[in-house]
Amino acid sequence: MARGLVLCSQTRTIAKLSFFLSYPKLWFKPHRHHRPCYGPHNIPSARVFCHCVNSQTLNLVDMAKYNEAFSRRMAMAGIKHHNSIALGVSGGPDSMALCVLAASWKTEGLYGVDNSGKFIDGLLAIIVDHGLRSESKDEASLVGNRVSEIGIRCKIVRCDWLNGKPKQGHLQESARDMRYKIFQDVCMQNQISVLLVAHHADDQAELFILRSSRDSGVLGLAGMAFTSQVFSSHTNFCNNDWKNHSVLLVRPLLDFSKEDMYKICQGSNRDWVEDPTNRSPLFARNRIRASLGNLLSGTFNSELQAVISACRRTRIYVDQICNSLIKQSITVMDQGYAVINLKTLNPSKIEDICLSKFITLVLQFVSQRQRPIRGSTSKLLLQYIRTIPCKISLTAAGCYICPAPGSKGFEALVCCSVYCPLPSNAESFRTFSNVEEKHCFSDELEQIIANGRSYSNNNLVTDSSQAQFLDMRSQSVLDEARRLDVISESTYRNIISLQREEVSHFKSKTDEVASGCESKQGTEHIAAFLSEPLLPGQTCYFMNRFIISWKLSKEISSNWFRGEPLSLSYLQGDCHCCCVNEDEMVAKVRTMIDADWLYLAELTKWPHSDNFEATRLPLTGKITCLDYSRLSAKVALKSLKSIPVAARKSMPLLVDDHGRLLSIPSIGFKHCPCMKASTVFKPRVPLGGGHSSFL
């Protein structure tokens, strides 16, 4: 390994840098705001390893101040010292500072060490090796060793790019998505409910400039949340209830600056790494970071953070209004659709920004697609929801919206549209054993969220006058901030300059991104109608919305057709139906189509015998399913009539290998008395998006 160069950090910290490239030795001390410039073809291929060294010129770092601030933020999130916590660690100064503070906080809580006596109990660092560079494995191992020296147990996970490594233009986005998927998987495997990441105030500033250059509204300009509930793709059975596993994502360093990160590493004498890709101008955040580096003076930084704080207060207000509207006007049905009571909602009395966010939350819940709704679609939905009584139907954001039958247009149905791109097919999930069930981490998370709400309630924005930027785009927010003296004229001009610089880069990429999205959506649309075979006794999660299971049983209940005049005495006790012995019987899951309920109607008309004994096969004495199917279809049609036609199309059902209908669990239809099938509507992300705090 060749020795590299000596840098002064932003805090005048002397750091010795080492990297794998065989460059001649070079020693220099750049200016505090100097940023090395790398073109797209001369980016160093390896991370730069930084080592703090002793110097008489180093300023003493008040670690007690940082530890106290960190402890306060953990309490605000509702986290106690005994809670198990995961840390997202890259090895950079930000995540290393997070490790230092988290370790100090845990040990101050006197929570002790684990059984090995080497590591702090209840802390796990997750290091993701993206595998995008040849030396990434060695770098991840080195970072793991450094984190272990702090007393934190590590888990290194290498990315498995099943569809090939991401292209350069989507590298950071793809790497981030993969990283958070791994974070969630590791948290679930280790029954950890809290994940800490090291985003800080400078990251918020970068995000503000990035989103304002995309003409984001005030909700987007509010930036990252202090805490948010991130829902995993995994589902589990715990405490006699179906639960979707989620992780509380906490950003306890949002009040800290990048300069603070270096100081914390300095004060604890900890090393870090610098990833050269973080300086590549190919990526928007890097370009903005480089430009901000010359502007983050005390005045500019404080004024920019003041604008972000004002936007956050507005977002708190909007979220409070939306939560209230959801409780008052939304009814969620077991078949997977929602009903909006437009009279109770009274859209004419609601600000556009609140009403738009409200309808977005409802549509995201029904479709389970968490993509934002923007532009013309948002305007169309606002116009639709304000028109009372509603008389037309429309498709938007993965949903079909129409007047509710019999409501005379004063209620609107929101159903999942099978003609839009949808989450893909069925997935298996984990079932906890009885021992694990006693320690279900979902219960721990609920307690943490409850603890945090007591702090959040003190920050409620109950008056619209406290929400300064309602219904404003990015330019209007800045204009209003300048008028209210939140920012000075010089800060205003600097932000506008940064926006214009980034807009030019953004527009050149728009057509490329749009064409890529169209291609991807077409694939998702096809996948929504496919499913792997589901064996008896297995359970799957379908379209992020339904938990489906089925099995064959010899024990038959005699009350399945309660109220029917026919005597089904032969259904009591053991069943002799030939289906019970179909060991190779499998089912596939798909959504309902018009032909399915037409088939039910035809089935009720089939010739049948009033004497069930006549349906026994002459040689075996086993019972056929024809008469049972006919009666089951008759009962199911009664239930089907109570479900709006629009909602029927997203109902899941089971078919055999030949496409023949086996069961529609939502309405109780089964082709055979031996079959037990169930469908539970359990959306992955709850209505309203789960817990979030914007403190």
In tens, the pLDDT along 613-631 reads 434 444 444 556 777 888 8
Between CA 421 and CA 518 the distance in angstroms is 10
**What's the confidence (pLDDT) of residue 472?**
84
Query: What six digits make up the tokens of 562?
Result: 């309660």
**What's the confidence (pLDDT) of residue 345?**
96
In the predicted model, is pLDDT for residue 67 greater than 90? yes
Between CA 66 and CA 11 the distance in angstroms is 15
Q: Report yes or no on 311 lying in a domain.
A: no
Q: Report yes or no on 437 lying in a domain.
A: no
What is the CA 33 to chain-centroid distance, rounded?
Answer: 36
Between CA 582 and CA 572 the distance in angstroms is 21
Q: Which residues pair with 552 in a beta bridge?
A: 675
Q: Report yes or no on 347 lying in a domain.
A: no
Average the pLDDT over 83-100 and give the result.
97
Residues of the chain with pLDDT > 90, as a percent, come to: 48
Q: How many domains does the chain have?
A: 2
Q: In sequence order, which residues have a C-beta less than 8 Å from that of residue 353 and are 6 or more positions away? A: 217, 218, 219, 318, 470, 471
**What's the confidence (pLDDT) of residue 110?**
62
97 CB burial (10 A radius; 0-12, 13-18, 19+): buried
**What's the confidence (pLDDT) of residue 616?**
44
Between CA 263 and CA 31 the distance in angstroms is 17
Domain boundary among 465, 498, 514: 465
Residues in the chain: 695
Q: Report yes or no on 240 lying in a domain.
A: yes
Cα–Cα separations (whole angstroms), residue 126 to 49, 141, 191: 19, 12, 14
Q: Report yes or no on 560 lying in a domain.
A: yes
In the predicted model, is pLDDT for residue 502 greater than 50? yes
Q: 37-46, 61-70, 428-437, 516-525: lowest mean pLDDT where?
A: 516-525
Domain boundary among 439, 465, 491: 465
Average the pLDDT over 357-367 and give the result.
95
Specify the CATH number for the domain of residue 183.
3.40.50.620
Note whether 459 and 695 are within 8 A (CB).
yes
Domain boundary among 448, 465, 482: 465
DSSP state of 399: E
In tens, the pLDDT along 262-318 reads 999 999 999 998 877 777 777 788 888 888 887 767 899 999 999 999 999 999 999
In tens, the pLDDT along 193-252 reads 999 999 999 999 999 999 999 889 999 999 999 999 998 766 655 544 566 678 999 999
Between CA 148 and CA 159 the distance in angstroms is 21
Domain that holds residue 148: 60-110+118-164+171-284+458-465
In the predicted model, is pLDDT for residue 370 greater than 90? no
Note whether 265 and 271 are within 8 A (CB).
yes
Q: Report yes or no on 592 lying in a domain.
A: yes
Note whether 54 and 91 are within 8 A (CB).
no
Q: Which residues pair with 693 in a beta bridge?
A: 227
Between CA 61 and CA 53 the distance in angstroms is 14
**What's the confidence (pLDDT) of residue 300?**
93
Q: Report yes or no on 319 lying in a domain.
A: no
In the predicted model, is pLDDT for residue 36 greater than 90? no
Confidence of residue 582 (pLDDT cuts 50, 70, 90): low
- What rounded mean pLDDT belongs to the chain? 80
**What's the confidence (pLDDT) of residue 440?**
58
Q: Report yes or no on 156 lying in a domain.
A: yes
**What's the confidence (pLDDT) of residue 275?**
75
